[in-house]
Structure 1
Amino acid sequence: MTDTPTPATGQIWQDNDKRAEDRFLLIERLDQTHAHVRQVTRTAGGEPVPLPGVRGTRIRLDRLRPTSTGYRYIEGGEPR
């Protein structure tokens, strides 16, 4: 199992809630306490595409960890 990276712009995270297991989020920007994310789907080539009609939201950074009520890292991100 890989370590969970520090949240960064461009990363894709998946919701761990069993009711929303197909919910993938792209981090668009970060501030000191929150990640500003948009729900995405994947193309056949694997590129994330924002879902039309779904507005962005904010998630506290401390929730971006692999717990039952958190999120798990999938891929991507800009190098730091």
Structure 2
Amino acid sequence: MSAETPAPAVGQIWQDNDPRSYSRKVRIVAIDDTHATVELHQPRLPVSSAKPGRRTRIRLDRFRPTSTGYRYIGSQP
């Protein structure tokens, strides 16, 4: 990870870079050896079927600012 992109940690907010995701933001709620458990961090968008608070797992290596990854937004206390 670069100096601008911290290692994934509980409480951080990340934004999906995939243009099909409509700028989906997720908050990390747990981390294990290979995956982060995240929940949707924004109100439901009219085009999205994802529900606020829904949890899913994402591989840790996807938390990087590439077209198929996520970019760091900030931390939540």
Q: TM-score, normalised by structure 2?
A: 0.79
- Pair 3,27 (structure 1): closer, same or farther in 2 beyond 3 Å: same
Q: Alpha carbon RMSD of aligned pairs, Å?
A: 2.0
Structure 1 segments (4+ residues) deviating >3 Å: none
Greater share of strand? 1
Whether contact under 8 Å (2:24, 2:40) holds in the other structure is yes
Unaligned runs of at least 5 residues, structure 2: 44-50
- Once the two structures are superposed, the pairs formed by residues 1-80 of structure 1 within 5 Å of their partners are 3-41=4-42, 51=52, 55-76=54-75
Percent identity between the two aligned chains: 56
Whether contact under 8 Å (1:14, 1:21) holds in the other structure is no
How many residues align? The count is 68
Unaligned runs of at least 5 residues, structure 1: 43-49
SS in 2 for 1:32: coil
User: 1:55: Cα distance to partner?
Assistant: 2.4
